[in-house]
Structure 1
Amino acid sequence: MGRTVRVLVVEDDEDLRVAVSAELSAAGLDVIAAADIAGADAALRAHPFGCVVFDRMLPDGDAIDYVHRRRGDGWSVPVLFLTARDSVADRIAGFAHGGDDYLIKPFSVAEMAARVRTLCRRAVGRPSVLRMADLEVDCARRTVRRGGVLLTVSDKEFAVLEYLAIRPGQAVTRTELIEHCWDASADPMSNVVDVVVKRLRRKLREPELIHTVRGRGYRLAEPAG
Structure 2
Amino acid sequence: MDSRPAPSLTTTPLSPPVRVVLIEDDTDLRDSLADLISLAGFEVLTGGSALAFYQILASQPFEIAILDVGLPDQDGFSIVEHLKANNHRHGIIMLTARDGTEDRIQGFRQGADLYFTKPADGRELVAAITTLALRLRAVDHPAPEASGSADSYPPAGPAPQNGWYLDHQQWALLAPTGQSVSLTAQEMRLLGCFLTIPASADGIATRSALLGAIGKNPVETEDRSLDAAIRRLRRKVEQAVGQDLPLKTVPTKGYQFTAPLQ
Find the counterpart in structure 2 of residue 105 from structure 1: 118
Find the counterpart in structure 2 of residue 50 from structure 1: 63
Determine which of 209, 219, 228 is the counterpart of 1:199: 228
**Cα pair distance change 1:214/1:32, threshold 3 Å:** closer
Mapped partners of 1:207, 1:180: distance in 2: 18
Structure 1 residue 114: Cα displacement: 1.8
TM-score, normalising length: structure 2: 0.61
| Residues 7 and 31, structure 1, Cα contact 8 Å, conserved in 2 | yes
Alignment RMSD (CA, Å)? 3.3
Mapped partners of 1:120, 1:97: distance in 2: 19
Structure 1 residue 60: Cα displacement: 0.6
Give the 5 Å matches for 1:171-190: 173=204, 176-178=206-208, 181=211, 182-183=218-219, 186=221
- Give the gaps of 5 or more residues in structure 2: 1-13, 142-167, 174-180, 212-217, 239-244
SS of the aligned residue for 2:99 comes to coil
Determine which of 127, 143, 158 is the counterpart of 1:114: 127
**Cα pair distance change 1:208/1:46, threshold 3 Å:** same
**Same amino acid, percent of matched pairs:** 26
Which shifted more, 79-88 or 163-172?
163-172
TM-superposition CA deviations, 1:4-53 (whole Å, max 9, x none): 22211100000110111010011011111100010111012111112111
SS of the aligned residue for 1:58 comes to coil
Report how many aligned residue pairs link the two structures: 191
Mapped partners of 2:43, 2:108: distance in 1: 25
**Cα pair distance change 1:43/1:95, threshold 3 Å:** same
Structure 1 residue 200: Cα displacement: 3.4
TM-superposition CA deviations, 1:75-107 (whole Å, max 9, x none): 011111001121222111111112111101122
Mapped pair 1:166 → 2:195: no
SS of the aligned residue for 1:165 comes to helix
Mapped partners of 2:41, 2:226: distance in 1: 38
Structure 1 residue 203: Cα displacement: 6.5
Structure 1 residue 124: Cα displacement: 2.5
Q: Give the structure with the higher percent strand.
A: 1
**Cα pair distance change 1:89/1:163, threshold 3 Å:** farther
| Residues 248 and 255, structure 2, Cα contact 8 Å, conserved in 1 | yes
TM-score, normalising length: structure 1: 0.70
